[in-house]
Amino acid sequence: MDTLHDDLRRLIPAHDQRKLIVRWSPGHQGIPGHEAADEQAKLAAGGDNLEARLLPRSLKKINGTVITLPTSKSALKQQFHHKIKKEAIAVMTKSPRYPLLRKIDSTAPSKHFSLLVAD
C-alpha cells in the first residue's frame, strides 16, 4: 500500500481534490472485468508478467526486471492447512483400522468423524 500511495503522490498534484477509494468486494460477482484483472494480479504476484514494461517504475528494478511482490500471509496459511490435511489423509489411509472405519463412515477422514469421536 505504501508503494501505491507513493505512486499516487507522484501522479496526482497535491492541490487535486480527487480521491481514490479502495473497496473490498465479497466474491467479486457482478463486477465487469474482475476475472481478467484477477488473472493478471495472480500473474504479477508470481513474477510472471508478460507486460512488465507497462508496470509502474516502483514495481521494477533499475535493470527493468519485475520486483516480486511479498507473499500473502493468508495464502501461506491456506497452503499450510491444505498440506496438513493432505498429510493427515495419507496417514489415515495407511492405518490398519482404515478399512473398518470406512464401513462406519464412508466420508472418513472428515471433520464430521472428528466431531463424532471428539469426546
Per-residue pLDDT of the chain (119 residues; tens, 9 = 90+): 787 788 888 888 778 887 777 777 766 667 778 778 777 777 766 655 556 666 677 777 777 676 666 677 888 888 899 999 899 888 888 989 888 888 877 777 677 767 777 77
Residues 102 and 54 in one domain: no
Q: Please tell me whether residues 62 and 84 are part of one structural domain.
A: no
Mark whether 17 and 50 lie in a shared domain. Answer: yes
- Residue 19 buriedness (CB in 10 A; 0-12 / 13-18 / 19+): exposed
Looking up cell 509502474 gives 56
Looking at the fold, whether 28 and 57 belong to one and the same domain comes out as: yes
At 70 the pLDDT is: 67
Q: How many distinct structural domains can be found in the chain? A: 2
| Sequence-distant (≥ 6) Cβ neighbours of residue 67 within 8 angstroms | 59, 60, 61
Same domain, 51 and 19: yes
92: its cell numbers: 489415515
Count of H-run helices and E-run strands, the chain = 5, 0
Statement: the pTM of the whole predicted model exceeds 0.95: no
- Report the first-to-last Cα separation within the chain, whole angstroms: 46
Residues 83, 60 within the same domain: no
Print the domain residue range for 53.
1-68
Which of these three, 50, 68, 86, is where a domain ends? 68
pLDDT confidence of residue 83:
93
